[in-house]
């Protein structure tokens, strides 16, 4: 039950082609919360959707002050309480974006992807909808922990096309699932144990489409400074064309100092 120290930073960039930035991200290191959203919809409503979802998820964890946080959707007994709370936050964001989209004609059909990670001690909970990704870098390897909810990912899964074909596909940006487009959304939940020196990368497709996994790995391993890693990744995506908004959150996990561990050991709470 070792607590890990979290060093995280995030950056979002409009890219080189788009006029406005419909991406958003959310960092709440003291709560161990990291999230990235990539909005979609006309009349700049993508911005609204992504921002709303991030605000809501942040709010869910930041000021859960007035009582236990609401459980939205079914409680998954197989997952930890934390994972369920993260799922609740994402489902709550879905409700908000969906209701907002109904309220205003200009926002009709807006939606967003969300990938959110919650780190407490050494436990990682992941919730995601859409094609924004979470990568885990461990022992010098990079692994995508989230399955894109996109048509091409579905095609790859069914062996209809190869991964290379998918990368070149015209319909890469068509999602099978998004937050805010339906009254209820199926959120993919995952949880795992983290180790010291793990690195987490959350990004919108503006990064993953522009920068290969290997390059992400190289950049992430070249430094321990999350802000610098984010900057470098955004720069790389822009150099490769910057065809979409680019958003990335990088988090380095480190062993806490012996004193900190000692204190944490005694202050460890059950929840």
Partner 1 sequence: MKKTKVFRTDVFIGVILTLLIVGVYALRWSPVEFLEYKFYDMGINLREGPTNSPVVVVAIDDSSINALGRWPWPRSHIARMIDLLQGYGAKVIGLNILYSEKDTNQGLQAIREVTASIEAKPGLQGNASVAGIYATLKAAEKNLDHDAALSTAIGASQRVVLPFFFALGGPVLMDSASMPEVLARNSVSFASPPDLLTARELIPPVPEFSTPALALGHINLAADSDGAVRNDCLLIDYGGRVFPSLSLQLALKYLGYDLKDLVLGEALTFRRIRIPVHEQSRMLISYSSSYEAYPFVEVLNNRVSPESFRNKIVIIAPTATGLGTMQVTPIGTAMPSVLITANAINNILNNDHIVRPGWATPLEIGVLILFGLFLALGIPHLKAGISALISSVLLVAWLATAAYFMLAEGIWLKVFYPTLLLLVGYTIVVSRGYLFTEKSKERIEADSVETNKMLGLSFQGQGMLDMAFEKFRKCPVEDEAVKELLYNLGLDFERKRMFNKAVAVYEHVMTAGSFKDIEERVKKLKAVGETVIFGAGGARKDSTVIVENAQTRPTLGRYEILKELGRGAMGTVYLGKDPKINRDVAIKTLRYEEFDEEQLADIKSRFFREAEAAGKLAHPNIVTIYDVGEDYEIAYMAMELLDGADLAKNCQKNQLLPRAEVVRIVSSVAGALDYAHASGIVHRDIKPANIMILNNGEIKVADFGIARVIASSKTQTGVIMGTPSYMSPEQIAGQKVDGTSDLFSLGVVFFELLTGEKPFAGDSIATLIYNITSTPPPSVREMVPDLPEQFETIIGKLLAKDKSQRYQRGKELVDDLQELMKVVS
Provide the binding-site residues for partner 1, judged by CB under 8 A: 1, 48, 51-52, 55-56, 59-60, 64-72, 75, 81, 92-93, 95-96, 99-100, 103-104, 265-271
Nearest-angstrom CA–CA distance, 153 and 133: 12
Phi-psi region of 166 (alpha: psi -120 to 50; beta: other; left: phi over 0): alpha
Phi, then psi, of 126 in degrees rounded to 5: -125, 135
Which H or E run includes 203? strand 199-203
Of 11 and 53, CB closest to partner 1: 53
Other CB atoms closer than 10 Å to residue 191's CB: what's the count? 17
| DSSP code of residue 29 | G
**Number of residues that make up the chain:** 271
Of 4 and 220, CB closest to partner 1: 4
Q: In the bound complex, what is the minimum distance in angstroms from residue 103's beta carbon to partner 1?
A: 6
User: Which two tokens mark 81?
Assistant: 């309480």
Of 129 and 248, CB closest to partner 1: 129
Q: Which of 151, 144, 140, 142 is nearest to 128 (CA)?
A: 144
Of 56 and 126, CB closest to partner 1: 56
Q: In the bound complex, what is the minimum distance in angstroms from residue 267's beta carbon to partner 1?
A: 6
Nearest-angstrom CA–CA distance, 133 and 58: 18
Of 62 and 227, CB closest to partner 1: 62
Q: In the bound complex, what is the minimum distance in angstroms from residue 245's beta carbon to partner 1?
A: 20
Of 112 and 209, CB closest to partner 1: 112
Whether the CB-CB separation of 175 and 106 falls below 8 Å is answered with no
Q: In the bound complex, what is the minimum distance in angstroms from residue 84's beta carbon to partner 1?
A: 9
Q: Which residues are CB-neighbours of 102 under 8 A, at least 6 positions away?
A: 108
Q: In the bound complex, what is the minimum distance in angstroms from residue 115's beta carbon to partner 1?
A: 19
Q: In the bound complex, what is the minimum distance in angstroms from residue 74's beta carbon to partner 1?
A: 9
């Amino acid at each position: 039950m070792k607590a890990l120290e979290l060093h995280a930073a995030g950056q979002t960039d409009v890219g080189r082609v788009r006029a406005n930035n419909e991406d958003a991200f959310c960092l709440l290191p003291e709560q161990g919360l990291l999230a990235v959203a990539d909005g979609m919809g006309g009349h700049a409503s993508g911005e609204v959707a992504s921002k709303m979802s991030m605000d809501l998820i942040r709010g869910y964890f930041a000021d859960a002050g007035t009582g236990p946080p609401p459980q939205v959707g079914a409680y998954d007994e197989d997952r930890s309480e934390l994972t369920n709370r993260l799922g609740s936050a994402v489902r709550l964001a879905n409700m908000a974006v969906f209701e907002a989209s109904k309220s205003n004609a200009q926002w009709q059909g807006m939606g967003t992807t969300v990938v959110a990670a919650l780190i407490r001690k050494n436990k990682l909970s992941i919730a995601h909808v859409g094609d924004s990704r979470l990568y885990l870098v461990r022992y010098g390897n990079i692994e995508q922990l989230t399955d894109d909810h996109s048509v091409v990912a579905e095609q790859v899964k069914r062996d209809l096309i190869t991964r290379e074909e998918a990368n070149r596909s015209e319909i890469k940006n068509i999602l099978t699932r998004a937050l805010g487009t339906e009254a209820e959304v199926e959120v993919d939940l995952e949880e795992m144990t983290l180790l010291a020196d793990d690195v987490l990368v959350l990004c919108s497709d503006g990064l993953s489409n522009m920068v290969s996994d290997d390059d992400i790995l190289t950049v992430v391993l070249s430094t321990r400074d999350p802000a610098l890693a984010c900057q470098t990744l955004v720069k790389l995506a822009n150099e490769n064309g910057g065809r979409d908004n680019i958003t990335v959150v990088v988090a380095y996990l480190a062993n806490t100092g012996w004193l900190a561990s000692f204190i944490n050991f005694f202050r460890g709470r059950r929840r």
